[in-house]
Amino acid sequence: MFETDTQVASAMQHHDVVLLGEYHDDPVAHHCQLRLWKAALRLCGLPPVAATGHAGRVLPPPGQLAHPHSGEGGAVRPTTSSDPAGAREPGLVRPAVLSLEMFETDTQVVMDEFLKGVVREQDLVVDGRAWPNYMRDYRPLVLAAKQHGAGVVCANAPRR
């Protein structure tokens, strides 16, 4: 059992997929999610895009590592079972992607446009049909992804 979020974050780096869930109206759970998401971004080696200038960069396919300054088609090597997350080469990053059920799959384009700075957050809220508690509970997660150049997947089945 883990006693601190630092211990949880440290354990996360040894896994390709980490699932976090919460009660949708629990502010403590949302706070914990944000802390763990930010820790995951750091552990994946994703500095804030302001530091790298790579806003909206394309993430490598799952299961691959890429040099943070390589851009599209740069130095990429696949991970293997003998390459645990804690034993990566310096300067390499793992992809970090946030998957949210709060946005439906048919709104992925507007999410991608928001992450790239093409549309405003208000456009994301309206055209993305954001949940009523987006601003309070999920906005910090999305903004952290945007700040670090991580992807966000709109994962819920469309209602329409």
pLDDT in tens, 54-89: 444 444 444 433 333 333 333 333 333 344 444 445
Residue 19 confidence class, pLDDT cut points 50, 70, 90: confident
DSSP SS3 for 146: helix
Residue 92 confidence class, pLDDT cut points 50, 70, 90: low
Q: Where are the domains of the chain?
A: 5-156
Statement: residue 157 has pLDDT above 60: yes
Q: Can you give the pLDDT at residue 68?
A: 37
Higher pLDDT, 19 or 75: 19
Average pLDDT, the chain: 78
Predicted TM-score (pTM) of this structure: 0.73
Q: Can you give the pLDDT at residue 89?
A: 52
- Euclidean distance between CA atoms 7 and 5, whole angstroms: 5
DSSP SS3 for 34: helix
* 94-135 pLDDT, tens digit each: 788 999 999 999 999 999 999 999 999 999 999 999 999 999
For 98, the enclosing helix (H) or strand (E) is: strand 97-104
Please, is 153 exposed, middle or buried when counting C-beta atoms within 10 Å of its C-beta (0-12, 13-18, 19+)?
middle
Q: Can you give the pLDDT at residue 91?
A: 57
